[in-house]
Amino acid sequence: MNDERECDGALVARARSGDARAFEDLVRRHTRAALRVAFAILGRQADAEDACQDAWVRALEKLETCRKPERFVFWFLQIVRNRARNMLDARRVRSAEPLESESAADLADPRGSHRGERLRARLEKALAEIPQIQREIVLLHDLEGWSHREIAQAAEISEVMSRQHLFQARRRLRELLGAEALGDLSDDG
């Protein structure tokens, strides 16, 4: 990610001057991480995708306000967090159903689910049980390959806290899922 971030400043400058391809490059480069962050907050893939789309539109509209273009990804992930939290608040107001109801329904109906879908539902339910910061860190570190330094910068915490959150998240996920469900998830932090 370090090499990519070095180029973000140049891409932002080109996008600000009207280069649509530069903005498309930013979208391609950072959408996966943005989806992980939104999913950590919302717990539903479809909602995470909606939050990311909204965040990209907002980022394009507000690109001139990005004060440190070389740190675009951190600025953008904050937009994603804000959008996801707003969606979560709106969903809570509109719905009396538990947030994890979709995953629980998938687990209860094995006829319509394959083993992988059931495992994914179990994982989503377990992720919903840990604090949002821990979800975000485990998803960015274990699925996106971000370093603790990069996570610390994005979350505005220390590297030590990033490691601690990852350790606690993995421990809690093992409790909820059992060690075999996590496969070869390591504790090397």
**According to the model, what pLDDT value does residue 121 have?**
81
**According to the model, what pLDDT value does residue 41 have?**
92
Distance CA 105, CA 107 (A): 5
Top pLDDT among 121 and 78 is at 78
Q: What is the mean pLDDT of the chain?
A: 82
CA distances from 86 to 79, 82, 93, 100, 102 (A): 11, 6, 11, 18, 20
Q: Are 88 and 80 in contact (CB under 8 A)?
A: no
**According to the model, what pLDDT value does residue 97 have?**
39
DSSP category for residue 17? T
**According to the model, what pLDDT value does residue 176 have?**
87
**According to the model, what pLDDT value does residue 19 have?**
93
DSSP category for residue 141? I
In which band, very low, low, confident or very high, does the pLDDT at 122 lie, cut at 50, 70 and 90?
A: confident
pLDDT at 179 over 50: yes
**According to the model, what pLDDT value does residue 83 have?**
95
Q: How large is the average pLDDT for residues 159-170?
A: 91
**According to the model, what pLDDT value does residue 189 have?**
52
**According to the model, what pLDDT value does residue 35 have?**
96
pLDDT at 107 over 90: no
Distance CA 15, CA 20 (A): 6
For the chain, what percent of residues have pLDDT higher than 70? 79
Q: Looking at the whole model, is its pTM more than 0.85?
A: no
pLDDT at 150 over 80: yes
Amino acid at residue number 51:
A
